[in-house]
Structure 1
Amino acid sequence: MNRRSLLLVTSSACALTIFDTNLVGVILPSLVAGLGGDYAQMAWVQSSFLLSFASLLMASGALSDRYGRRRMLTIGLCVFAFSALACSLAPTMVFLVSARVLQGVGAALLLAPALSIIGHAFREQHEAVQAWTTWGRLMGLTMVIAPLLSSSVGYLLGWRWAFGILAFAGAILVLAVPRVVHANRSDRVGAFDWCGALVFSLTLLAWTWGLINGPDVGWMSQWVVLAVLIGLAGLCVFITIELYQRKPMLELRLFRLPRFLAAVFAMFAYAASAQVMAALLPLYLQRGLDISFLWLGCALLPFSLGMFFAPSLTRRIAGRWDSLHLLAVGLAVIALGNTGLFMAARSGGVPEFLFSMAVLGAGGGFINGETQKAILGALPPEQTGMGAGISTTARFFGMLVGYAGLSAIMAQGVMTRLQMQVCGAEGANCQRLRQSFESILTGQYSDFLSGDQASARLADAVYRAGFSDLFAWAALIAVLAAGMCVMLCGRKGRKHVL
């Protein structure tokens, strides 16, 4: 087996998920305009993918340990490629969202085994640093290429062809996997923990449904409260099941390790405050800074190039710095970048915004591979599938929470400011509020503006202010996570608990 080819193919499979997030962020406004969707449907195009993705990652990691990493990787790539093709042919928003759910299933089935294969093949400290640095740089390269390719293909051929790129890439990798990856699985014996996997998925489903729908139906509505209660009950049942399993899907004792816990939390925070910006920044650049679809990929270069070049710095100092110190520094840089975006969105300054994007991307790239290495390095080889499931669940649940939560903060900020500006103190013209809200958030200003320059300036100002709230909360998430890494860095624990 050529280990370099193995790393390239498995890392490319992981990159498909990053490509998807960037692609959808770029084409979303034109997609919504083409299919005639509203704000809720626009949010579900991204959230439905992340929902099924995050719900199944833990089960995918455990399944790859039991039934073979190569087998699960191949199945996941087939499902992903087929569903991407279905997205490109979608006639309605409902069909598209359904296909996105299936695409999230395929992404979960391919990502956890791909990471497990890398973690199992590169165990020594030196080669692990090199492998995860290469992995991180490929993720960064994907973030450079994806917006450029998506914007150019979407502009010239239409958004449907952008999904076709994913389908083609998935098909190529399906053919490559059997040639470079040997069939392997864990030596662990016993039946798969189907009950634990089902309860975990339903628990995550309930919580994420409440998170996504809370801004629309109200956080204290009976359905959101019921979803939260179901999630809490499911969590209690899941913990009980795993404690009494001889071979559990999730070894809960791992979370007794302070450093492991800090690495998982750092992964969550990195995804929620930095990686999620790949889906959110394109919206602001197109609507907040009025950058055309064709040039959107170029406008995203400061962020994506930071993601690409920063891992080389991590590689140089990884052997001299403690892993949690690296994570804390990266999260602090992410917080600094988001703070700069907050101030630039408030002032409307374009150079300041682009510079802050570069800072944010550099912070994300600095710790992208390090978070993965810190989590998988704490586990024995036979549990790398479980570790991949934990790390990827933390990553994409963080993206889901970040996308749904930060979007809700932005939407609430827009609604509050419109309430003051459109309705006024005496509630006049409030019948326009909902229409104005939908028009601004989906970027379809025409109905709201009606040729009125004052309305145009109001729409731009409200949209930028809503995004400034989003960036401020993202900075706070990164600061809290950096503080946790520093606090837990000095605590010692055994490398493995089993």
Structure 2
Amino acid sequence: MRVASGDTRLAVSSPPVRPFLVLGACCLSLFLVMMDVTIVNVALPSIRLAFDAGIPALQWIVDAYTLVVSALLMMAGTLADRFGRRRIFLTGIVVFCLASALCGMATSSGALIAARALQGVGGAMLNPVALSIIANTFTQPAARARAIGVWGMMSGAALAIGPVAGGAISDLFGWRMVFWINLPIGVMALLLTLRFIPESRSPVPRRFDFPGQSLAALTTVALVAALIEGPGFGWGSFPIRGLFVLAAVGSVSFVLIEGRRAEPMLDLRFFRSPPFASSVVLAVLCFAIFASLLFLNTLYLQEYCGMTPGRAGLELMPLAVAVMIGAPLSGRLVAARGARLPLLLAAGGLTVGPLMLTGLDAAVSWEWRAAGYAVLGAGFGLCNAPITNAAVSGMPRRQAGVAAAVASTSRQIGTALGVAIAGSVGAAEALHASVGGRLSADFLGLMRSVCWLAAGGGVLVGVIALLGTSRHAQRVARRMADGFDSSPQG
């Protein structure tokens, strides 16, 4: 078995490396983690009825998972680099499946939120570790770009398939089955991992950075909690102002402490590379746009238009198909033309799609809805491969776990922020007002506000894409990569 010098250290008993089977196992685990982000969305109205839950509870059911994932991703990457990527990966699959079973047995919204948080612990061990396994298995740039394209396709497809599958499963078997379905997929991923994925770790183990980890988690949780609970408590109330201050203090403290540590959890020098820094911002923006509109549209289709979960899932099918087409196309474009073209196309879809959705009401034709969802899905599908490729390219492969975790963390933070903002913009009382058991017309005002905000985010995606893929940015990135190679720390 040939291994790149200075990259990884494989155990003697490791299974034989079969790159595409390794990729398959990693993609299957990613399918689990990413589908669970969105499969719950279509089931939210049913969960709301089952537990008599309010909109903030529904937001927490989605965000408890994504918040824990984003808070622990970087620690999971460090653990994987130190103790072995395969070992952490296997542990993540087991925890995720156990938590899925607890979600399926939940008897209250509080119990479901707690189980979702435990799911996040397992998910944090899967997403970045799988990506670092791919980065260390496919060492040639072109092969890595193609593999990451497949990875991006699976990520986008899982996110898009989630609402369709969630609607069908909820109609046929009830909302609890959207969690139980994770178990057979998890078992398949477990068997593939045991058989085909070799053990690998960084040759220079990194120390744990508990101050950095704690501050990163504190900042993220405080910010999202403020956005979710702000409408209920009042934006000027002491608890909400305190949460915003806590998030600000946490972020500043994180930068100050991490910049002074000899072995930080996150090497802040990464952000001196324009492509890497832009990939982080783009991931947050793209996933926030997608998550906010998905959250609101599942409520719009079911609680405003009166559709069943299955019908709502079918209405979202154009979005799923567009993501699945856009993701592999994006991977090929990255391999052939670089990141700029797919990012600009993604920006177009993420701008035009939300603009089309500003016209939704109860009477709008399904053709217009389908077109809007398709444009949004195409834009989202095109963004994943170039973002991921920029995040791991130019970084030292012995820190692949941490670099991949940063990219994955950005996605999860974007998802959490998108759901939080969706329930906050335009006053959350609009979500609670109902007419005949359905959401009132005030909900459409909220939804249009979020769509306009999302369209502005799409324009910003295009601007950042141009800056992050410029010739100057590429020259700076090459100098940064050379500096990492010659640095004893990098």
Q: Which residue of 1 aligns with 2:113?
A: 97
* Aligned partner of 2:65 among 46, 49, 55: 49
Pairs within 5 Å for 1:4-153: 4-143=20-159, 145-153=161-169
Q: Which residue of 2 aligns with 1:432?
A: none
Q: 1:376 aligned to 2:392?
A: yes
Distance 2:18 2:335 in 1: 26
User: Does structure 2 conserve the Cα–Cα contact (< 8 Å) formed by 1:152 and 1:294?
Assistant: yes
Distance 1:345 1:129 in 2: 41
Aligned residue for 2:170, secondary structure, equals: helix
Distance 1:373 1:487 in 2: 16
2:38 maps to amino acid: N
Deviations along 1:10-54, one digit per CA (max 9) or x if unpaired, are: 111111122112211011101110122122212211121122121
Distance 1:304 1:99 in 2: 27
Deviations along 1:300-326, one digit per CA (max 9) or x if unpaired, are: 110000000113332443244341343
Deviations along 1:139-176, one digit per CA (max 9) or x if unpaired, are: 34334543333222211221112210013322332233
Pairs within 5 Å for 1:286-301: 286-301=302-317
Q: Which residue of 1 aligns with 2:344?
A: 328
Q: Which residue of 1 aligns with 2:463?
A: 483
2:234 maps to amino acid: G
Pairs within 5 Å for 1:8-407: 8-143=24-159, 145-345=161-361, 348-407=364-423
Q: Which residue of 2 aligns with 1:494?
A: 477
Q: How many residues align?
A: 462
* Aligned partner of 1:463 among 436, 443, 468: 443
Distance 1:136 1:172 in 2: 20
Aligned residue for 1:250, secondary structure, equals: coil
Aligned residue for 1:318, secondary structure, equals: helix
Deviations along 1:246-283, one digit per CA (max 9) or x if unpaired, are: 22210101111222211211111111112554444322
Bigger shift: 84-93 or 9-18? 9-18
Offset at 1:120? 1.8
User: Does structure 2 conserve the Cα–Cα contact (< 8 Å) formed by 1:7 and 1:131?
Assistant: yes
Distance 1:439 1:192 in 2: 48
Distance 2:141 2:211 in 1: 36
Distance 1:140 1:268 in 2: 15
2:249 maps to amino acid: A
* Percent identical residues: 27
Distance 1:172 1:481 in 2: 37
Distance 1:284 1:18 in 2: 22
Pairs within 5 Å for 1:421-432: none
Distance 2:455 2:361 in 1: 14
Q: Which residue of 2 aligns with 1:418?
A: none
Aligned residue for 1:295, secondary structure, equals: helix
Change beyond 3 A, Cα 1:188–1:346: farther
Distance 1:481 1:282 in 2: 24
Change beyond 3 A, Cα 1:276–1:381: farther
Note the residue ranges of structure 2 that are not aligned, 5 or more in a row: 1-16, 485-490
Offset at 1:288? 3.3
Aligned residue for 2:263, secondary structure, equals: coil
* Aligned partner of 1:474 among 438, 454, 457: 454
Q: 1:438 aligned to 2:418?
A: no
User: Does structure 1 conserve the Cα–Cα contact (< 8 Å) formed by 2:296 and 2:422?
Assistant: no
1:475 maps to amino acid: A
TM-score, length-normalised on structure 1? 0.87
Offset at 1:214? 1.7
Aligned residue for 1:172, secondary structure, equals: helix
Note the residue ranges of structure 1 that are not aligned, 5 or more in a row: 416-436, 448-455
Distance 1:144 1:485 in 2: 23
Root-mean-square deviation (CA, aligned residues, Å) is: 2.1
Distance 2:51 2:187 in 1: 27
Bigger shift: 235-244 or 356-365? 235-244
Change beyond 3 A, Cα 1:34–1:346: closer
Distance 1:468 1:248 in 2: 42
Distance 1:364 1:370 in 2: 11
TM-score, length-normalised on structure 2? 0.89
Change beyond 3 A, Cα 1:161–1:321: same
Deviations along 1:212-269, one digit per CA (max 9) or x if unpaired, are: 2222212221112222222222223322332222222101011112222112111111
Deviations along 1:434-491, one digit per CA (max 9) or x if unpaired, are: xxx5253xxxx545xxxxxxxx7xx553323321221111111121121122134322
Bigger shift: 391-400 or 477-486? 477-486
Q: Which residue of 2 aligns with 1:431?
A: none
Offset at 1:124? 1.8
